[in-house]
Amino acid sequence: MELSGALDDLILGRGVARGSHSLRHLGKLVRAPFEERLLANGFRPMTVREAPIEAGEKIPAFFIKGETVDFGYIRWEIFTPKSRRKLFASERRSPENQEWAIQLNLASPEKVWASPDRKERHDVDTVVAVNP
């Protein structure tokens, strides 16, 4: 399979778990081709603050740091009916406490590659336990 097809499978979750992945392929850094395929698949760089979602919605996103990419969602986390936050949360969890390994909040200047056109509904009525 050619590289662009393999990257598309990763981006779209076709037969590949979208967790944390190295951006090295056959010893070569493929960050630029990965970003090109993100654009081709409707993803664009944005901050959590810029993400166009409301409570009850989430959008798929990728956070690229160095030679690693982490898949997750920009979503709302609900603590109580009046306490909530919008954040990017990676699918990968921290082994120490099972919290999301990467969390970027509204104040973060970091960009993620997100696809608002792939917006999904999700349940925000469930209160998230803090350190369950």
The 10s digit of each residue's pLDDT in 54-63 is 888 899 999 9
| Domains: count for the chain | 1
Whether residue 126 lies inside any domain: the answer is no
Question: Would you state the pLDDT for residue 124?
Answer: 60
Q: What is the pLDDT of residues 24-81, one digit of tens each?
A: 988 899 999 999 999 999 999 999 999 988 888 899 999 999 999 999 999 988 777 6
Residue 14 has pLDDT above 50, yes or no: yes
Whether residue 70 lies inside any domain: the answer is yes
Whether residue 87 lies inside any domain: the answer is yes
**Residue with the larger pLDDT of the pair 99 and 44:** 44
Backbone φ and ψ of 32, nearest 5°: -60, -50
Number of other CB atoms surrounding residue 112 within 10 Å: 28
Whether residue 127 lies inside any domain: the answer is no
What is the DSSP track for 103-123? EEETT----EEE-GGG-EE--
Whether residue 132 lies inside any domain: the answer is no
Whether residue 28 lies inside any domain: the answer is yes
Interacting residues of 34 by C-beta distance below 8 A, sequence separation 6+: 7, 11, 23, 64, 69
Number of other CB atoms surrounding residue 52 within 10 Å: 11
Range of the domain at 108: 3-121
Q: pTM for the complete prediction? A: 0.85
